A and B are shown apart, each in its own frame.
Chain A
Amino acid sequence: MGNKLIELDIRVPNQTRYLGLIGRIGKELARELSRENGESETLAQHLNVVLTEAMSNAIRHAHEGDPDKTVHISISIADDELRIRVYDHGQGFDLSSLPEGEPQELEAGGRGIYIIRCLMDTVVYRRSKEYNVLEMWKKLR
């Protein structure tokens, strides 16, 4: 039997101080799911990381650190699939231009999207006139 539909819609200021809150929400959600699915603590760690990286990406690269902007994150679970969307209203970026392999060992940056790609099944970044969205899916079984 599939999971019941869960939807979380979160809006927080475009500030890194809220990364911990978003990460903890992901961790607690995974623990809640594990009571039904038997997923391990690993999923809690992964969601903590993925949400932190995705929000951090929006804050720094899309919203250019503007503290007056808002980051909008939507998390939904249906039919044993988790979907995370992180919206931004910035210039956006071209996901396909980023290398898919491991980042250079001694590069200080460039690991965020690599980490997300490693921990999620599918990662897409869509750009439109109104907003951009980083969309990520993961099968829970």
Chain B
Amino acid sequence: MTITVTERNGVTILSLGSERLDAHNSEMVKDELKRRFAAGAKKVLVDLGAVSFIDSSGLGALVSGFKSAMAGKGRLSLSGLQAQVHSMFELTRLNRVFDVFPTVEEALSSFAER
């Protein structure tokens, strides 16, 4: 999977370039998030707009990223959840853990407000 990294208004945006986020590629996302927060990033957004399928490993990688954010006193938000991805967040109640935004722009506005 390709992870495209961009910086906008002090926010690191990781755009995941795969239709599936599962046990085959979730470790890559987990490691990337861990590395970003360890390097001092405080505001990170994972854009899942291209992801149409997520499994428990993918969810686990994002939870791990959330914990990395907490450890580094940073913040991790998500954007662009497609229907299947959103339903998996609801099924596992992780929608109560993450700040989830429909679009990158809305997520960036939220970062700017805080």
Contacts and interface: CB of A to CB of B under 8 A. Distances in A.
Given A23-B20, A52-B55, A106-B63, A45 B96 contact: no
Interface of B: 20, 22-24, 30, 53, 55-57, 59-61, 63-64, 66-67, 84, 87-88, 91-94, 96-97
Contacts of B59: 111
Contacts of A16: 22-24
Interface residues of A, number: 25
B97 A115 contact: no
A45 B87 contact: yes
B82 to A, nearest CB: 11
A112 B94 contact: no
A102 B93 contact: yes
Contacts of B94: 105
Nearest to B55: A52
Contacts of A107: 63
B85 to A, nearest CB: 10
Contact of B64 (A56, A102, A108, A111): A108
Contact of B92 (A19, A23, A45, A115): A115
Contacts of B20: 19-20, 23
Contacts, number: 72
A106 B63 CA distance: 6
Contact of B56 (A45, A102, A111): A111
List 8 A-B pairs, minimum CB-CB distance, nearest first.
Answer: A111-B56, A16-B24, A112-B56, A56-B23, A108-B60, A108-B64, A16-B23, A52-B55
A49 B25 CA distance: 15
B91 A118 contact: yes
Contacts of A20: 20, 22, 24
Interface in A101-127: 102-103, 105-109, 111-112, 114-115, 118
